[in-house]
Amino acid sequence: MNKQPVTGEVPLNQGGASSSSRFIRLPYRLEYDPSKRVNVWWITIASVLLALIVCGIFIAANGMNPFPVYKKLLSGAFGSSFGLTETLVKSIPLLLCGLGVSIAYRISVWNIGAEGQFAAGAIAATAVTIYFPELPIYISIPLMMAFGVAAGAFWGLLTAIPRTYFQVNELITSLMLNYVALLALNYVVFGPWKDPKGFNFPGTPVFTASQSLPVLGDSRLHLGLAFAIIVVVLYAFTIKYTRWGYELRLIGANAEAAKNAGIRISRHIIIVMLISGGLAGLAGMSEVSGVTHRLMYGISPGYGYTAIIVAWLAKLNPVGLVVSSFLFGGLIVGGYSVQTLGLPSSISNMLQGAILFFLIAGDTIGKFRLKRND
């Protein structure tokens, strides 16, 4: 175990350069343990509160009272039936992408490519509508789901293979592949799939009713919510009650011990990246089929990146993922509401970044422990 102690001895110089030094031995010392897992819920709560305080200072520095701003943000996201349904709509891709990255994080595979996997799934699902436009709904929707999941899984595999066989850092490959997928999306919506009747708008033709997910009443809340709930239940059951879930937890706790126990870590890396990418691809399919009803430029406001914060905030816990995705969905919707006060909607991005900053800081501080000097 790699522990880095902070010495408990403080030098006292007694004068000039030639003088000798004495030390006062402190009764305690700080010791840093990078392998220590921090799962303290007060760190999560403190991170959110500190983010609100820091962002409130920036809001006040711009001449506005932060309390009415936060009140408007909350009321816009949770204060009406419209706000609640819109928050749930935003929560669907966050939850699916958050589940995907959580599975990878279980074995310390840092997949930050959910944004690209989301885009790959959206592109593949739209391809079904472009090349098979006359299919009935009971064929088109399952086929769009299959294409979306397969494309996202393939995009995840492009990160898993270099990591497994060539020891290439997955942070780099998954991040770079995000840009490749987003540029591919831009190419098709500005190029071959562009709607000729769309008044030069960068998007595909609008999906037909047989290519769109069913919605609840007059709202935009669609069947993707059921997909997300089913996946959460499967994730919770798998992690807690199956042998594969136990192996994931063992690898995450101590990869060397898991390897000595005969668990093939390379195989698990490939499997979790396939699942991780597939879930982000399903999120992309749900967004194009359930919300926008076409593939278009800027379809994601950063769902894949926000999902990283969702997973960190939830500590990879299934219930925590549901709660954090709902809260961050509310942040996105509330961000639009504060524009009526003269603030940009990017205030929600500022809050998200501050929460992530304090989460990481809290986890780092939690790895220190105070030990008594002998």
Residue 53 within a domain: no
Task: Give start and end residues of each alpha helix (H) in 62-192.
Answer: 66-78, 81-105, 114-131, 137-166, 170-190
Q: What is the pLDDT of residues 130-181, one digit of tens each?
A: 999 999 999 999 999 999 999 999 999 999 999 999 999 999 999 999 999 9
Residue 78 within a domain: yes
Q: Give the domain extent around 228.
A: 65-342
Residue 350 within a domain: no
Residue 30 within a domain: no
Beta bridge pairs of residue 9: 25
Of 140, 159, 113, 141, nearest to 280 by C-alpha is: 113
Residue 133 within a domain: yes
Residue 39 within a domain: no
Residue 287 C-alpha from the chain's centroid: 16
**Torsion angles phi and psi, residue 28, rounded to 5:** -130, 160
Say which DSSP state 301 is in. S
Residue 243 within a domain: yes
Q: Please state which of the ranges 92-101, 330-339, 342-351 shows the lowest mean pLDDT.
A: 342-351
Q: For the chain, what is the domain count?
A: 1
What is the distance between the alpha carbons of residues 97 and 109, in angstroms, rounded to a whole number?
15
Q: In what order do the strands lie in the sheet with 4-6?
A: 4-6, 28-32, 368-372
Q: Please state which of the ranges 36-40, 122-126, 143-147, 260-264 shows the lowest mean pLDDT.
A: 36-40
CATH code at position 260? 1.10.3470
Residue 7 within a domain: no
Q: What is the pLDDT of residues 254-263, one digit of tens each?
A: 889 999 989 9
Q: What is the pTM of this model?
A: 0.88
**Torsion angles phi and psi, residue 318, rounded to 5:** -55, -50
Going from the C-alpha of 293 to that of each of 52, 205, 208, 240, the distances in angstroms are 35, 9, 8, 37
